[in-house]
């Protein structure tokens, strides 16, 4: 089994990466393979709603979103990390997630997922709430921890001094591993996947 961890910070090995690395270490100790995918520091266009992905299965902008999508489709679980920018998720990871889920959500359904937020001080819960919505609209079970999935610090060294935050990350990794193993055991025991109904879209304009 494998978990893809998406680093939504423009800094490749900053605070968000540090938090994800702690989660990855806990997953590895449980026998789960991991990969940390860095979104990068180049501009990422937002979704235009052009419908190209509905016809082709991938985004019209052939950049890191499509690269990550192929990895996400192969992974058994997904964790996305974001720094806090102006009390919410970074604009880069917001555009990234919008396009990833518009183009690939059908292939990501029922995969356990989690969000990790990194901040110097505040805005973490808003970030967690914002990014979790991509998962909860896509039939993806959310993995929790012993507190909200956040770390605090202005540098990676600061994060490593956030002992509670580090515990949260370790617990998140172990909880993700437990859920993945439980799902695998359920499949082997003959537990069927949920019956998926055709999507109903109600218009309140009469």
pLDDT of residue 206: 65
In this prediction, residues 47-75 reach a mean pLDDT of 93
The confidence band for 46, taking pLDDT boundaries of 50, 70 and 90, is very high
Give pTM, 2 decimals.
Answer: 0.95
The span from the CA of 131 to the CA of 83, in Å, is 12
CB of 104 within 8 A of CB of 73? yes
- Give the chain's mean pLDDT: 95
pLDDT tens for 105-149 read 999 999 999 999 999 999 999 999 999 999 999 999 999 999 999
Buried b (16+ CB within 10 A) or exposed e, 170-191: bbbbbbbbebbeebeeeeeeee
CA distances in angstroms from 63 to 78, 81, 110, listed in the order given: 19, 19, 25
For 192, other C-beta atoms within 10 Å of its C-beta total 7
Instruction: Give the residue, 152 or 206, on which the prediction is more confident.
Output: 152
C-alpha dihedral (114, 22, 18, 144), degrees to nearest 10: 20
Structure tokens at 70: 């192929």
């Amino acid at each position: 089994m494998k978990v893809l961890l998406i680093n939504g910070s423009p800094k490749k090995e900053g605070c968000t990466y540090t938090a994800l690395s702690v989660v990855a270490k806990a997953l590895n100790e449980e026998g789960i393979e991991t990969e940390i995918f860095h979104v990068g520091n180049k501009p990422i266009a937002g979704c235009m709603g052009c419908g190209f992905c509905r016809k082709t299965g991938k985004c019209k902008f052939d950049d890191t979103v499509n690269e990550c999508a192929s990895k996400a489709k192969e992974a058994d679980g997904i964790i996305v990390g974001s720094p806090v920018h102006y009390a919410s998720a970074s604009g880069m990871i917001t555009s990234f997630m919008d396009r990833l889920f518009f183009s690939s959500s059908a292939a990501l359904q029922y995969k356990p997922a989690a969000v990790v937020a990194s901040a110097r001080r505040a805005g973490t819960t808003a970030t967690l709430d914002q990014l979790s919505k991509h998962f909860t609209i896509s039939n993806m079970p959310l993995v929790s921890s012993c507190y909200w999935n956040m770390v605090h610090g202005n540098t990676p060294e600061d994060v490593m001094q956030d002992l509670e935050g580090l515990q949260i990350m370790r617990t998140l990794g172990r909880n993700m591993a437990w859920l993945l193993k439980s799902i695998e055991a359920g499949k082997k025991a003959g537990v069927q996947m949920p019956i998926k109904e055709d999507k109903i879209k109600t218009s309140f304009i009469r």
